[in-house]
Structure 1
Amino acid sequence: MDSWLRPIQLEGELVKLVPLQKAHKVDLAFAASDGKLWELWYTAVPSPKTIDTYLDTALSEQAAGKSLPFAIINKKNNTIVGTTRYLNVDARNKRVEIGATWYAKKVQRTGLNTECKYLLLKYAFENLNCIAVEFRTHFHNHPSRNAILRLGAKQDGILRNHRLDESGNLRDTVVFSILDSEWKTVKTSLEFKMTRSYLS
Structure 2
Amino acid sequence: MEIVYNRAKLQLLSINDVRPLYAIIEKYPDIWTYLIAKMDCLEDMERLVEESIGKYKKGGDLPFTVIDQTTNEIVGTTRLYNISKDCKTTELGHTWYSPSVQRTSVNTECKFMMLRYAFEELGMLRVQIKTDARNEKSQRAIERLGAVKEGIMRNERELSNGYVRDAVVYSIISEDWPSVKEKLENKLICYR
Q: Same fold (TM over 0.5)?
A: yes
The Cα shift of 1:38 comes to: 5.2
SS of equivalent residue, structure 1 residue 106: coil
Quote the offset at 1:34 in angstroms. Answer: 3.8
Given candidates 16, 19, 23, the residue that maps to 1:30 is 23
Secondary structure of 1:23's match?
helix
Q: Number of residues paired by the alignment?
A: 190
CA RMSD for the aligned pairs?
1.4
Give the aligned residue type for 1:63: K
- Give the equivalent residue in structure 2 for 1:139: 133
TM-score normalised by L of structure 2: 0.93
**Change in 2 beyond 3 A, CA 1:38/1:191:** closer
**Displacement after TM superposition at 1:156 (Å):** 1.4
Work out whether residues 25 and 32 of structure 2, in 8 Å CA contact, stay in contact via their aligned partners in 1.
no
- Stretches of structure 1 lacking an aligned partner (at least 5 in a row): 1-7
- The Cα shift of 1:127 comes to 1.1
> Which residue of structure 2 lines up, in the alignment, with residue 13 of structure 1?
6
| Deviation readout 1:161-183 (Å, 9 max, x if unpaired) | 11111121111111100011111
Of stretches 59-68 and 84-93 in structure 1, the one that deviates more from structure 2 is 59-68
The question of 1:153 aligning with 2:158 is answered no
> 2:156 is paired with a residue of what secondary structure?
strand
**Structure 1 residue 85 corresponds to structure 2 residue 67:** no
Structural mapping, 1:1-200, within 5 Å:
8-37=1-30, 40=33, 42-44=34-36, 46-49=39-42, 50-198=44-192
Provide structure 2 residue ranges, at least 5 long, that are not aligned to the other structure: none
**Counterpart residue identity of residue 128, structure 1:** L
Distance in 2 (CA, whole Å) between partners of 1:151 and 1:38 is 21
Query: Deviating runs (4+, > 3 A) in structure 1?
Result: 44-49
Instruction: Give the superposition deviation at 1:47.
Output: 4.6
- SS of the residue aligned with 1:134? strand
